[in-house]
């Protein structure tokens, strides 16, 4: 039986996380793990994690609860801000497996009803994956001009 682990980035796995890469055509869609870790260092809301299949690091994600968002129904928003699968593991179903695990992890950790993310709408592979899980555009743009999508767990 295979196991999926979502593990915080620490001194022990930092260099392995920094070695993760996306394919050349995806580099315009997502920051490098190094850039993400720098952002996490500067912003206490971010939680960077390694995504493991058995004992193999296959991806990276960064998420967090951001209190400055208030949509009237809750205080703050839970964001899945970064999500990548290393190019060596793409096309093998790891994106689906890891996203499913991340959503369960976020729901458990934050007891949230909604999960937000932003995406460039020409990122076809990621967009298709997010839509399969029920994410929908909400009409907002983030500060980088990316379209905001939300997964409403109550209507899923």
CATH code for the domain in which residue 79 is found: 3.40.630.30
Find the mean pLDDT for residues 102-123. 94
Find the mean pLDDT for residues 96-107. 97
For residue range 9-50, list pLDDT tens digits in order. 999 999 999 999 988 777 777 888 999 999 999 999 999 999
Domain count, the chain: 1
Structural domain for 106, as ranges = 4-152
What are the residue numbers of the active site?
130
- CA 29, CA 25: separation in Å to the nearest integer? 8
Per-residue confidence (pLDDT) for residue 71, from 0 to 100: 57
Query: Above 60 in pLDDT, residue 72?
Result: no
- CA 58, CA 50: separation in Å to the nearest integer? 8
Q: Which residues, other chains included, contact 48 with Cβ-Cβ below 8 Å and sequence gap of 6+? A: 8, 9, 17, 33, 36, 37, 40, 60, 61, 62, 82
User: Residue 131: how many CB atoms within 10 A of its CB?
Assistant: 12
What pLDDT band is residue 7 in, cutting at 50, 70 and 90?
Answer: very high
Q: What is the mean pLDDT of the chain?
A: 91
| pTM of the complete model beyond 0.85 | yes
């Amino acid at each position: 039986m295979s196991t999926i682990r979502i593990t915080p980035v620490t001194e022990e796995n930092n260099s392995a996380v920094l070695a993760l890469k996306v394919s050349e055509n995806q580099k315009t869609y997502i920051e490098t793990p190094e850039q993400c870790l720098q952002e996490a260092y500067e912003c206490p809301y971010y939680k960077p994690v390694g995504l493991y299949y058995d004992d193999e690091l296959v991806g990276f994600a960064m998420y967090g609860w951001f209190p400055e968002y208030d949509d009237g129904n809750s205080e703050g928003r839970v964001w899945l801000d970064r999500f990548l699968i290393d190019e060596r593991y793409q096309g093998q179903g790891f994106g689906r497996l890891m996203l499913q695990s991340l959503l369960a992890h976020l729901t458990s950790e934050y007891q949230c009803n909604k999960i937000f993310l932003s995406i460039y709408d020409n990122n076809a592979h990621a967009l298709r994956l997010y839509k399969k899980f029920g994410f929908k555009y909400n009409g907002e743009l983030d500060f980088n001009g990316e379209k905001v999508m939300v997964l409403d767990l109550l209507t899923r």
